[in-house]
Amino acid sequence: MKAWQITDANEISQIKRSESPSLDREVKVKTTKAMLSKDDITLYNGDDKPAYPLIPCRFAVGVIVEAEESTNGYAKNERVYLDPISNCKQCYSCTIGQPKDCSRLNIAGINAEGFMKDFAVVPFESVYPLPESVSDKDALFIEYISLAISVIDKLKIQKGDHVAIIGGNVVGNIIAQLIIYYQAVPIIIDDNDTNLEIAKRSGIYYTLKADGKLEREVSELTGARMTSKVVYVTSCGINTEAALKLSRANATVAFVGFNYSNIRVNFTQAMQKQLRFYCITNGYGNAEASINLIANKAINLKNFNLLSANFSDVPKVFKSGDDKLKDEQEIYNCVIDMMN
């Protein structure tokens, strides 16, 4: 197996080792496509003081190369999505049969080995067959859609609800599209014109600039009631004050994202409005539902700005991303062709 491993801040190198699956419990997958995100660049940057060494990458698809025929029906050459999250099987929630509430989730590229490697040995319950109608590139967004499903479930989105979404990047955009699917009304808010334009092309009607007119504009859209449900995307870079200002009394605010460092909240205003908070960091358990949504064309994934690179170019991708991070430029996801 060849893999790219972050060994220290701004240092990445290729390693080699062998891995063999325990075929009654695991399958071996040849990774064919993977996707790096801003979260991977942040780990490489080292500001969050991650535990090195670490193989990065949360999103990947591949083809099964080793599996017992009896292992849950999987077979060689089957195209699959690699679920980046597994439960610890040891905490209280896991032992009582509630793995979705696991307190020590293993997350690829964060506290477990990621998928920036040519082969991955994973438990058979961590792979999901992909129908022909779901392309490899679309499948790389399954965890984003799964995260959005968790938001819908936690906020109990109902038909006709106005939902303010602070942050129009990939996370916010997909959440907004799913809210439309459930016949509610998302209001995307961002300070990045490109994100707002992509939101419009994705079919999201209400897009607002995060500026001094924001409260008045949201008030006009909601008949002066403001919003009872607010989503704050933790990677958006907008002050959390916006989420509290757009909330009516007794509203629910969800802080959502894969990366959530340096989040600060004014609890004085939250207490005055008696707001309820949810923190949603993953979409564990929603992979099959996400695959169905993609297969049924419920989510438009064609408008996102994506970079592309080969496996051999991964160090250059990290170096370029780190330069953009330092210059406070937009960092786009990069699809890696793992076969080259």
> CATH code at 266?
3.40.50.720
Dihedral sign for Cα 96, 94, 289, 247, please: positive
Q: Does residue 133 share a domain with residue 64? A: yes
Is there a domain that residue 209 lies in? Answer: yes
Same domain, 183 and 254: yes
- 286: in domain: no
> How far apart (Å, rounded) are the C-alpha atoms in residues 331 and 46?
16
Rg (CA), the chain: 20
| 20 and 135 belong to one structural domain | yes
Q: Are 55 and 109 in contact (CB under 8 A)?
A: yes
In this structure, the answer to whether residues 316 and 235 fall within a common structural domain is: no
Domain that holds residue 191: 148-280
Q: Are residues 153 and 269 in the same domain?
A: yes
Q: What is the CATH number of the domain that holds 107?
A: 3.90.180.10
Looking at residue 193, its pLDDT comes to 94
Q: Is 167 contained in some domain?
A: yes
Q: Is residue 71 part of a domain?
A: yes
Domain shared by 167 and 200, yes or no: yes
| Whether the Cβ atoms of residue 46 and residue 11 lie closer than 8 Å to each other | no
Same domain, 226 and 250: yes
pLDDT tens digits, the chain, 340 residues: what are they?
Answer: 899 999 999 999 999 988 777 767 888 999 999 999 999 999 999 877 788 999 999 999 999 998 765 556 777 889 999 999 988 888 888 888 888 888 888 999 998 999 999 999 998 889 999 999 999 999 999 999 999 999 999 999 999 999 999 999 999 999 999 999 999 999 999 999 999 999 999 999 999 999 989 999 999 999 998 999 999 999 998 999 999 999 999 999 999 999 887 788 989 989 999 999 999 999 999 999 999 999 999 999 999 999 999 999 999 999 999 999 899 888 999 999 999 8
Task: Specify whether 137 is located in the same domain as 182.
Answer: no
Per-residue pLDDT at 47? 78
Q: How many domains does the chain have?
A: 2
Q: Are residues 165 and 129 in the same domain?
A: no
> Which pLDDT value is given to residue 127?
94
